[in-house]
Amino acid sequence: MSRSAHPAGPRHADVLPEGHYTAPPTDLNALDGKVWSRTVTRNTDGVVTVGGIDVTRLAEEFGTPAYFLDETDFRARCRAWAEAFGKDADVFYAGKAFLSRAVVRWLKEEGLNLDVCSGGELATALDAGMPAERIAFHGNNKSEAEIERAVRAGVGRIVLDSFQEIVRVAHIAQGLGKRQRVQIRVTVGVEAHTHEFIATAHEDQKFGIALAGGQAAEAVRRALKLDGLELIGIHSHIGSQIFDMAGFEVSARRVVQLLAQVRDEHGVELPEIDLGGGLGIAYTPEDDPREPHEIAKALGEIVTRECEAAGLRTPRISVEPGRAIVGPTAFTLYEVGTVKPLEGLRTYVSVDGGMSDNIRTALYDAEYSVALVSRTSEAAPMLSRVVGKHCESGDIVVRDAFLPADLAPGDLIAVPATGAYCRSMASNYNHALRPPVVAVRDGEARVIVRRETEEDLLRLDVG
Ligand code: LLP
């Protein structure tokens, strides 16, 4: 992931310390449309606005740190995915990226389905009125209680992840007098080009049942025999933050080969395949993500071609984008607390949040960009590291960034593309209070997940 160093701006030595940075942008005040959501802009006073509301007002009303989610952008992205895949395919939003009641309602209104992976996500989905048949239930170790709840609710599909689970779900469904629609998650043996922790289709990891060695074919054999199950298809998710379609191509080909094998052995053509999520987004202007229509076209062509070659009817395709829908729609707003220049190294800019609201930098070495948003500045670019207020030096939000050299305590800075896996992976480390998520649309801002309070923390502490 690391990038080569470039000569820096005027305030820096000829050779910069090692890091991920690129050259300073020519205009530090510019907001690159790749990383900022669609309604973000700067007003004539130089203050950044989202949905027509300026961030200084948002900070006053909702405090910092806070996530501001551009609802217009979220809905537009849902529609783009739904339209790209059309009537003959299904888009399941992966709720693990970020889920709340409001999000569930937006998905419902925009015609998307929902992938949940825990009892908590299922409860949120059902509570907010997502029809159960539009829910897919995932997980490599679903509890019996979770399975029972999902089957009773009537979820559209449960994605089976192990041999034990095949029996478990069949048993529970039969006990309830139901036949549960299921898919089998397979690992296709693809090395996705992404961080090891978010690659999921190589064999040496916990998810799915391997195609290699006939394991997946055996899983199909067992599932087809059980009365409690209706096997509707095969599922493959190869990993996350992927830009290259080659991995999906291999995955689709191998899944279709399994469908052909199933047809040959059982005389059954399974009607669906799910190719998972994992499509990458732009965290920095250097990232170059594919658009939904390009992805839909590429996947559709691969599956059709492979099915024709195997003499199979083309199955119904589904996909599960999480990050690609919600990731680009939000930014995190922070207030600068301290600015500490380290001679010959860089300037450490401490903000009022940190690894408790964005663990991705520490966990995956993720890259982000950042901008001064409460005003413009003509000062020279300053090589900076945006860090949090937590008690560990790994508490880094943006490892390498250029901010204006006149940055001062009280300035507001924002990190874009934090809609996915930031609030959903937020923690209470150091008894931090998890920030609110505020939805902004057409000049109106409303809290959809409120800020935690000290009372919330103390309520759980019953000692
Ligand atoms: N479907 C399945 C079965 C998944 O396991 C995942 C993500 C998705 C869909 C959605 O993937 P997406 O389109 O959002 O990449 N915490 C990590 C990401 C973990 C993803 C886990 N599964 C991160 O912050 O990058």
pLDDT tens digits for range 31-45: 999 999 999 999 999
Integer Cα distance of 278 and 283 in angstroms: 14
In the chain, the amino acid numbered 366 is A
Residue 164, number of CB atoms within 10 A of its CB: 10
Query: How would residue 198 be classed by pLDDT, with cut points 50, 70 and 90?
Result: low
Regarding predicted confidence, which is higher, 193 or 300? 300
Integer Cα distance of 254 and 210 in angstroms: 11
pLDDT, residue 204, reads 79
Nearest CA to ligand 1 atom 9: 277
Q: Tell me: pLDDT of 360 over 80.
A: yes
C-alpha 8 – ligand 1 centre gap (Å): 35
C-alpha 208 – ligand 1 centre gap (Å): 14
C-alpha 25 – ligand 1 centre gap (Å): 31
Integer Cα distance of 106 and 68 in angstroms: 16
Q: Is the CB of 280 under 6 A from ligand 1?
A: no
Q: Tell me: pLDDT of 14 over 90.
A: no
C-alpha 179 – ligand 1 centre gap (Å): 28
Q: Is the CB of 121 under 6 A from ligand 1?
A: no
Regarding predicted confidence, which is higher, 121 or 26? 121
Catalytic residue among 78, 307, 391, 422: 391
Among residues 453, 386, 390, the alpha carbon closest in space to that of 416 is found at 386
Q: Tell me: pLDDT of 194 over 80.
A: no
Tokens of 344: 């010959």
Which of 90, 96, 319, 425 has most ligand 1 atoms within 8 Å of CB, for mutation? 96
Which of 195, 323, 358 has most ligand 1 atoms within 8 Å of CB, for mutation? 323
Among residues 99, 40, 96, 106, the alpha carbon closest in space to that of 68 is found at 40
CATH class for the region spanning 138-321:
alpha beta
Q: What's the per-residue H, E or C state across 187-217?
A: ECCCCCCCCHHHECCCCCCCCCEECHHHHHH
Nearest CA to ligand 1 atom 24: 421
pLDDT, residue 15, reads 59
Q: Tell me: pLDDT of 452 over 80.
A: yes
Q: Which atom of ligand 1 is nearest the CA belonging to 327?
A: 14
Query: How would residue 202 be classed by pLDDT, with cut points 50, 70 and 90?
Result: confident
299: Cβ–Cβ under 8 A, 6 or more apart, which residues?
248, 252, 275, 317, 319
- Confidence (pTM): 0.95
Tokens of 133: 């048949």
Mean per-residue pLDDT for 247-255?
A: 93
Q: Tell me: pLDDT of 6 over 70.
A: no
C-alpha 72 – ligand 1 centre gap (Å): 23
Q: Is the CB of 324 under 6 A from ligand 1?
A: yes
Mean per-residue pLDDT for 119-134?
A: 98
Q: Tell me: pLDDT of 13 over 60.
A: no
Q: Is the CB of 157 under 6 A from ligand 1?
A: no
Tell me the helix, strand and coil percentages in the chain, rounded to 5.
30, 25, 45
Q: Tell me: pLDDT of 232 over 50.
A: yes
Q: Is 422 a catalytic residue?
A: no
Residue 2, CA distances (Å) to 18, 265, 282, 367 in order: 9, 48, 16, 9
Residue 17, CA distances (Å) to 5, 8, 21, 50, 346 in order: 8, 10, 10, 35, 8
Which of 160, 320, 361, 418 has most ligand 1 atoms within 8 Å of CB, for mutation? 320
Tokens of 339: 């600015």
- Return mean pLDDT, the chain: 94
Cβ-contact 192, 238 below 8 angstroms: yes
* 3-class secondary structure, 75: helix
pLDDT, one tens digit per residue, over 406-438 is 999 999 999 999 999 999 999 999 999 999 999
pLDDT, residue 157, reads 98
pLDDT, one tens digit per residue, over 363-393 is 999 999 999 999 999 999 999 999 999 999 9
How much of the chain, in percent, has pLDDT values that exceed 70? 94
C-alpha 310 – ligand 1 centre gap (Å): 30
How much of the chain, in percent, has pLDDT values that exceed 90? 89
Q: Is the CB of 278 under 6 A from ligand 1?
A: yes
pLDDT, residue 11, reads 41
* 3-class secondary structure, 9: coil
- Domain definitions of the chain by residue range: 3-70+328-460, 138-321
Tokens of 98: 């970020």
Report the sign of the C-alpha dihedral through residues 16, 281, 237, 73, in that order: positive
Query: How would residue 440 be classed by pLDDT, with cut points 50, 70 and 90?
Result: very high
Among residues 248, 330, 333, the alpha carbon closest in space to that of 281 is found at 330
Q: Which atom of ligand 1 is nearest the CA belonging to 138?
A: 3
First to last CA, the chain: 45
389: Cβ–Cβ under 8 A, 6 or more apart, which residues?
337, 350, 351, 352, 353, 354, 395, 430
pLDDT, residue 22, reads 72
Asked if the 3-70+328-460 domain carries CATH number 2.40.37.10, the reply is yes
Q: Which atom of ligand 1 is nearest the CA belonging to 322?
A: 14
C-alpha 295 – ligand 1 centre gap (Å): 17
Q: Is the CB of 146 under 6 A from ligand 1?
A: no
